[in-house]
Structure 1
Amino acid sequence: MFKLWLKLELLLAFGSVFANACTITIPTDLPDPQPVIVIGEELFHPLNEVTEVQENDEITLHCAGNGNRVVALSQQTATLKCQGGKFYSQEKKKAYALKDLQCTRIPTSELLVTQNACAEGAGVFYEVGFQVNDVFLSVFTICYDSENEHALYSRSIVNGAAQNFKINDSTRRSFRADGMRFTTTATNNFYTNKNQRTRFEALFGTDQTYINSNSFLARGHLAPDADFVFSYEQLATYYYANCAPEWQVVNAGNWVRVENAVRKLASSFGSDLLTFTSTLDVLELPNPANKQLSEIYLDKTEIISAPKWYYKVVMHPNLPIDVVFVTLNNPFATVGKEVEFCNNICGKYGLDSSFYGDASRGYTFCCELNDFWSSIMNDETPYYELPEGWSYKN
């Protein structure tokens, strides 16, 4: 009897060892359009090109949005179990490769307005993500000041382990005005060339030269789409609450260089990098006729302001300091180091670019976070809410 039990235990042990785990290789194993993938009650956060799902473990696929379905299963939400190296549907009594489980279309995210205060009470948290089986799973977080209609910051994680394997999706989704007092249609209109010409002609006269077909204020992402791995995460960034008016030449100039530099940093570390992205002050431009300065707003009620500065806080355990990249949102200014309001440490830490000094593409410099914060807020401690496990460097 003892020998029989021993053989049975050995059989079970070896059966467990040689059980076929399911593998998810990104991007090759991903369906198109991808469903939201949930593993262990959290959004799938790959730590390498290949992720193993153990035998009998489950994944949940969710195609968010009205009428959206996992096509092969005719279900909006489906839970599948890893069996024999494939994902088995109990409802369909059939095993599937993940690549065959595409949605009707890219899942639609939600913006959840919470009652949780942030930035020492100056705003409330907006969570952007997906409702899956009665649980809201956040992709990134916005601290929003609804009274003044602008983001105090967007907080997001850049997955450095998966940057080299992320989906390169050229799809562009229209921005939505969820969480704002303006409708999406009205906010869309603020960004049209026609509206901006009208606004600038009212400020500077009909011969103004700031706005034309090549010079205009674009929708400048705070948490950018390209930071994220999956299509459904990337397109979840398209909310007006997550952007501010930014000159297109700056957006496509030094600001995108900052974003690329941050992703490169995350990739070099191979692990999660934390960012807080925001803006400062209201942009003022001179009237060429009399040099009088006017603040720039996209709307007549002067609520949607064009910021003077964009900035991005970057935090990672391997960085000796918490870094802030700062970009001037004024391509018309002829400026240099005199506009730097904190000690520029770009060169010291190998973060410099030969383009950063080009003001026509957005003059850019870097500072240590404590120096930056004390300079702009006259306070020692930043008001960002750090996720669990993160802390400021001294």
Structure 2
Amino acid sequence: MSVLALCFVLLNLAFLAQGKSAPGCSLSLNNNLPIKNEPVFFTQNGKNVEIMRPSPSSGKDSSFDLNTGEEFIVACPSNKNVIVETGKGESVAKCVSGSTVSIGGKTVDTKTLDCKSKADSDVIKTDRNCANGKGTVLEIGFKVSEGWFKLLEVCHDIAESKTYWASHSIKGDGIEGKVYRTTARPAFTRGEKWLFTGFNPDSAYKQDNQEKVLKTVLGAKSATAYLDSKATKFLARGHLAPDADFALSPHQLATYYYVNAAPQWQSINAGNWLRTETNSRTVAAALNVDLAVVTGTLGVSKMVDDKGQEKEIFMEGKSRLPVPEYYWKVLRNPQDNACIAIVATNNPFLKSAPKPVCKDVCEKNGWPTYQDDLFKGYVYCCEYKDLKSAVPHMPEINCKSTLQFKKK
């Protein structure tokens, strides 16, 4: 056998070993997918259908990598929504080469696979209880003809309109190459009529309502001191499972439900809590795992009124849509069940560092500490079991050791 022939054989063996054949398709998430109304992509292996997963990325761009002739499903969930190229809600596409696919009898570039309108997600109510029976597990995902595909779940108290926690995973092998949304942040949505009954959460979060609530509970003088939109002194819709933890645009947009949020002071939301979320993605990428994440709330924030008394703050009535006292996040490496729990205050007006609800182990395990600027949030780390003792509604998580902070 000649050297050239041997090289050809070895090259083909290498492709076979990786389960790929040349040339195939490589669809860049940032360069080869529709910009406006990106569809949801699914892989199909016989009867097994799954949400399509990008290949591992080595930089700031991930891709869908397919063999020539390999098929995948393109879907535009939501009522009367269709793929512009085919006029159907769902179609099977087949890789030709590069970013060219055949779909609906046409050969097209994947950039043209727009949906007529936004690919919608849904919220469904399960029969599972959570938070010691106080909450109901709701799932957020995509409903297509092949079935229901969950993206994340939340533990929500329907009567009190508050969410105890949200659970999802960060795909560490592709999160660095996520789609960078070109449209403005979408509005949060109620999702279903049986959620937030009797009031509109859109109105509850508006700053004129915040002013009204604080003046009623605390008095005009205190309310004026606490609120100033130009100085990030207002309550934001604080994501529990954040959009940036997901690689694809429809998945990011699916996080914009009010059940996946709680009132969070903007200086903290865009301050040290944002840094905590970024650190979560950093660790997921460094470990190259599907990092399990549970994010929740604890307590009701208390603020000092005109008479010097502490009062609890609810954005609706006397007990609904509470402003949490704390936000917390538990990260778990599924390979060895190493976990870290991270806690952040939700009161930018603290005069001194609060007493931690559990022993701080950030420095011991290499995690960054954010404790110098209380206006941006006081953040510390705990062992899972210690935080679980302080947060009775936290779900059971299989944690066996402490997760160390790691960068690539």
Q: Give the Cα–Cα distance (whole angstroms) in 1 for the partners of residues 375 and 22 of structure 2.
A: 60
Find 1:36's aligned residue among 26, 33, 40: 40
Any conservation in 1 of the 2:161–2:196 contact (CA below 8 Å)?
Answer: no
Structure-2 residue corresponding to 1:8: none
Any conservation in 1 of the 2:336–2:400 contact (CA below 8 Å)?
Answer: no
CA deviations on 1:102-155 (whole Å, 9 max, x unpaired) are 223331111111222334533222111111114011111112222332112100
Structure-2 residue corresponding to 1:359: 374
Any conservation in 2 of the 1:177–1:183 contact (CA below 8 Å)?
Answer: no
- Counterpart residue identity of residue 31, structure 1: P
The answer to whether 1:239 aligns with 2:239 is no
The answer to whether 1:186 aligns with 2:200 is yes
Give structure 2 stretches of 5+ with no counterpart: 1-11, 57-61, 402-408
Change in 2 beyond 3 A, CA 1:229/1:206: same
Identical-residue share of aligned pairs (%):
30
Q: Give the Cα–Cα distance (whole angstroms) in 2 for the partners of residues 20 and 321 of structure 1.
A: 40
Structure-2 residue corresponding to 1:21: 24
The answer to whether 1:327 aligns with 2:334 is no
Q: TM-score, normalised by structure 1?
A: 0.86
Structure-2 residue corresponding to 1:4: none
Q: Give the Cα–Cα distance (whole angstroms) in 1 for the partners of residues 264 and 367 of structure 2.
A: 23
Q: Structure 1 residue 323: deviation in Å? A: 0.6
Find 2:79's aligned residue among 62, 66, 69: 66
The answer to whether 1:133 aligns with 2:133 is no
Q: Structure 1 residue 182: deviation in Å? A: 2.5
The answer to whether 1:264 aligns with 2:268 is no
Q: Give the Cα–Cα distance (whole angstroms) in 2 for the partners of residues 265 and 307 of structure 1.
A: 26
Change in 2 beyond 3 A, CA 1:18/1:189: closer
Structure-2 residue corresponding to 1:211: 227
Secondary structure in 1 matching 2:365: coil
Secondary structure in 1 matching 2:190: coil
Find 1:166's aligned residue among 178, 197, 221: 178
Q: Structure 1 residue 376: deviation in Å? A: 3.7
Structure-2 residue corresponding to 1:298: 315
The answer to whether 1:117 aligns with 2:129 is yes
Change in 2 beyond 3 A, CA 1:184/1:165: farther
- Counterpart residue identity of residue 376, structure 2: R
- Counterpart residue identity of residue 185, structure 2: R
Secondary structure in 1 matching 2:253: helix
Any conservation in 2 of the 1:175–1:184 contact (CA below 8 Å)?
Answer: no
Structure-1 residue corresponding to 2:59: none
Change in 2 beyond 3 A, CA 1:18/1:158: closer
**Comparing 179-188 and 365-374, the one that deviates more:** 179-188
- Counterpart residue identity of residue 350, structure 2: A
Structure-1 residue corresponding to 2:94: 81
**Comparing 293-302 and 276-285, the one that deviates more:** 293-302
Q: TM-score, normalised by structure 2?
A: 0.83
Any conservation in 2 of the 1:151–1:241 contact (CA below 8 Å)?
Answer: yes
- Counterpart residue identity of residue 261, structure 1: N
The answer to whether 1:348 aligns with 2:364 is yes
Any conservation in 2 of the 1:177–1:184 contact (CA below 8 Å)?
Answer: no
Structure-1 residue corresponding to 2:406: none
Counterparts of 1:1-16 in structure 2 under 5 Å? none
Any conservation in 2 of the 1:106–1:231 contact (CA below 8 Å)?
Answer: no
Secondary structure in 2 matching 1:52: strand
Q: Give the Cα–Cα distance (whole angstroms) in 2 for the partners of residues 28 and 315 of structure 1.
A: 32
Structure-2 residue corresponding to 1:98: 110
Q: Give the Cα–Cα distance (whole angstroms) in 2 for the partners of residues 264 and 343 of structure 1.
A: 24
Change in 2 beyond 3 A, CA 1:50/1:189: closer
Q: Structure 1 residue 268: deviation in Å? A: 1.4
Any conservation in 2 of the 1:160–1:263 contact (CA below 8 Å)?
Answer: yes
The answer to whether 1:57 aligns with 2:70 is yes
- Counterpart residue identity of residue 137, structure 1: F
Q: Give the Cα–Cα distance (whole angstroms) in 1 for the partners of residues 212 and 256 of structure 2.
A: 26
Any conservation in 2 of the 1:269–1:318 contact (CA below 8 Å)?
Answer: no
Any conservation in 2 of the 1:27–1:166 contact (CA below 8 Å)?
Answer: yes
Find 1:393's aligned residue among 387, 394, 400: 400
Secondary structure in 2 matching 1:348: helix
**Comparing 221-230 and 200-209, the one that deviates more:** 200-209
Q: Give the Cα–Cα distance (whole angstroms) in 2 for the partners of residues 150 and 292 of structure 1.
A: 25
Structure-2 residue corresponding to 1:315: 332
Q: Give the Cα–Cα distance (whole angstroms) in 2 for the partners of residues 302 and 21 of structure 1.
A: 57
Q: Structure 1 residue 87: deviation in Å? A: 2.5
Structure-1 residue corresponding to 2:5: none
Secondary structure in 2 matching 1:282: coil
Q: Structure 1 residue 66: deviation in Å? A: 3.4
Change in 2 beyond 3 A, CA 1:115/1:18: closer
- Counterpart residue identity of residue 198, structure 1: K
Q: Give the Cα–Cα distance (whole angstroms) in 2 for the partners of residues 178 and 35 of structure 1.
A: 20
- Counterpart residue identity of residue 26, structure 2: T
Aligned alpha-carbon RMSD (Å): 2.5
Structure-1 residue corresponding to 2:3: none
CA deviations on 1:303-349 (whole Å, 9 max, x unpaired) are 1100000011111146783111100000001222x521211111112
Any conservation in 2 of the 1:321–1:368 contact (CA below 8 Å)?
Answer: no
